[in-house]
A and B are shown apart, each in its own frame.
Chain A
Amino acid sequence: MFAVELAYWQETILKLLFAFVAVLIPAGATVNLYLFKMVSFMQSRLGPMEAGPYGSLQLVAEVGKWAQKEDIVPARADEFVYKASPYVVLLSTFLLVLVVPFGPDAFFANFGTGIFFAMAVSSVSVIGILMAGWASASKYSLLGGLRAAGQLIAYELPLVLAVVGVVIQAGSLNLQDIVMAQHNGEIFGWGAIGNPFILTQFVGFMIFLIAVQAELTQTPFDMPIAESELVSGYMTEYSGFRFLLFFIGEFATANIFAFLGATLFLGGWSIPPFLMDIIPGLAPELDATGAVLSEGGNSAAGMSPWFNLIGPIVMLVKMLALTFIVYWVRFTYPRFREDQLQKFAWKVLIPISLVNIAVTGVLKVVF
């Protein structure tokens, strides 16, 4: 139906364009919706009301403001590293979005070790943050950068271990396979809603959410930024456009992790199978064995092409649900101290996630 033959370079340019759309549009949406409005209502105030109807253009005004500001480099800063670090942080965000599938054919890259790749590139941002902390030649930045390094490394582990449970259950590292495993899954023979892994992997889901909160350095794990202690942590010295890049990196990464969480635990871009039976034209193409047709490493090839349009919307809804939790927690809780944070990671989260993996493995063999 949408069969358009494109040259390789055309496809690459389109994908690049869509990568920017997939990173920036959801980031703007969540910032406007949650950071400006929802939080304001939580704190019994109105939030931005002047720019555009109901303050909806506030973000445009903010971006304009930042773009105009002077790009200040501290006199004693290591200039190259200082200037490069926001791009390194943003790089990890863009690498993360590559593996997220938004539909049967709507993905940037579909490779066998998708989730492994995502977990690996999510730690690239640590390097950027360390660079920023060190190169700023500010003591607050240095403390913030070192705190961030310790924290992100500690929470990488529970994040990976939480995902392992899903991987065991789906039997694949490929995110498209994980989506299809949830779509085709059955709960004791009842397949009307598939089997979203949030039901079977609830412990893993909770650990994933907590670890993501720490990866994103959001309250209660925001000690690398800690306004009341370190002014702004590793971002203290940044201004203007480079600060904007950090800002985009922070909020876009929250969305990408929410996309990943939706893919791993909430069924990804697919909708519950019983809805597909009701709505005409969504019936999947089946192969000889009665399973959804798979083709060239893409296990979702048999799904209706309409999902390339529906999928991104479904993903956006699920992402908004997950980011809601992120911001809700962020503006409610006080923050931990770093040693408490490390204790929490090593003594609570990692043992629980290991037990979760063991239990998942046993049950996988039994059923």
Chain B
Amino acid sequence: MTDMLDRRQMAYIASQAADARVNVELEAEGMTLNVGPQHPATHGTLRVVLRLDGEEVVAADPIMGYMHRGYEKLAEVRTYPQVTTLINRIDWLGSFANEVPFILAAERLMEIEAPPRAQWIRTILFEMARIANVTLFLGDMGVQLGAISPVFYAFRDREFILNQIEAATGGRFHPNFDRIGGVKDDLPAGWIADTKASLQTIRNFCDEMEDLLLGNEIFEARTRGIGIIPADVGLAYGMSGANIRASGVDWDLRRDNPVGLVYDQVDWKVWTHPDGDSFARYWVRLQETREACNIVDQLLDGIPAGPIMAKVPRIIKVPEGEAYVATENPLGEMGYYVISQGGLEPFRVKIRSASFSNMSITPWLLKGTYVPDVITILASLYFILGDIDR
């Protein structure tokens, strides 16, 4: 009886204290707003604690780790071929791109090189993963700004690319297709023609987005001059990918460090934008999607014949050593630092994922903006939660 009374009294005191806290928050200068971990704009479980003065952000603090799955540690008790299954789930929208740098690092340690045809297939699928990833951003940016329809077009047209990835690899979302020394299978018959047709739908989609969003006055008013990242600040925060290219930094690992992929065989260009605002980030990604279509188109035309696997032992043992390989993934630079002690499993895998570094600028960037702009900026930085919390 007394126990219950005590508990009731404690609950009452707690509620009074909570009331007092709310009153302090509402009436004193500013209030604290938790955006997330459950919030429609964080597409996942990112939590941003905003200190607000009216609707102006005084301080912003991103809190990560709600979806930490411990892949670096798990990789230490998996054999090398098994690790690809795990790291597929890092950036889940462009899964194949996650596998490539890890496999390349393992290949470097084993001193194996994949045969040319395998390299071409890798590059084709790598770019298709980029298309599958970035098309969703192109539509999703509209949702974050209040235009609901574009994301449906993104899902509709992305489906064609996913179908092609599935036809080649057997997995729509998680291909798990890259192998040390090559790729799992050759391309199926008729795949090249079908892929070319699906690239055309993506090109049409890009034109559609340019009409619907990029050319829209409200879209411009909401994104131009919002969330400007100067090139030096962006570099100091370790940003990469389209985010830094939108600040005018001409830096793309596909061109500057093409390890194991055949980007030097095709004619393409790196898109940059001098402004560094949300509009520039959208624009650069739109152009990159088109460029990716061009790259895949050219690769499909020139794909060489030959084997798809190098000579690899049945049981993969990686000799002792360390290797870091980074590639230009859809979200930015993604690298794997692999340390091997000569066993079946890696001794240590450090994953450098792009979104984690890209997110680190948010406290600096969000200060002094308004609540609606917070959403715009977070959307334009384009992070995938799996890529932040590995």
- Residues on A close to B: CB < 8 A? 42-45, 75-76, 137, 139-140, 142-143, 219-220, 222-223, 226-231, 331-340
Contacts and interface: CB of A to CB of B under 8 A. Distances in A.
Dominant SS among interface residues on chain A: loop
Nearest to A220: B218
B375 interface: yes
B147 A219 contact: yes
Q: How large is the interface on B (under 10, 10 to 19, 20 to 34, 35 or more residues)?
A: 35 or more
Contacts of B153: 43-44
Contacts of A229: 41, 371-372, 374-375
Contacts of A142: 26
B261 to A, nearest CB: 34
Contacts of A75: 15
B221 A340 contact: yes
Contacts of B22: 76, 137
Contacts of B374: 229
Contact of A333 (B33, B40, B218, B372): B218
Given A42-B149, A44-B152, A334-B222, A76 B15 contact: yes
A331 B153 CA distance: 13
Interface stretch (B71-79, B137-145, B242-250, B335-343): B137-145
A332 B156 contact: no
Dominant SS among interface residues on chain B: helix
B205 to A, nearest CB: 12
A227 B26 CA distance: 22
Interface of B: 15, 18-19, 22, 26, 31, 33, 39-41, 55, 142-149, 152-153, 156, 212-213, 216, 218-219, 221-222, 370-375, 379
B220 to A, nearest CB: 10
B8 to A, nearest CB: 14
A228 B144 contact: yes
11 contacts: A43-B153, A137-B22, A219-B148, A227-B146, A228-B145, A228-B146, A332-B147, A333-B218, A334-B142, A334-B219, A337-B221
A336 B376 CA distance: 12
Contacts of B372: 223, 226, 229, 337-338
B222 A336 contact: yes
Given A44-B153, A140-B33, 6 more contacts: A76-B18, A143-B33, A143-B55, A229-B374, A336-B218, A337-B370
Contact of B147 (A76, A226, A333): A333
B156 to A, nearest CB: 5
Contacts of B41: 228-229
B165 to A, nearest CB: 21
B143 A228 contact: yes
B148 A336 contact: no
Contacts of B146: 219-220, 222, 226-228, 333-335
Contacts of B40: 227-228, 231
Contacts of B216: 333-334
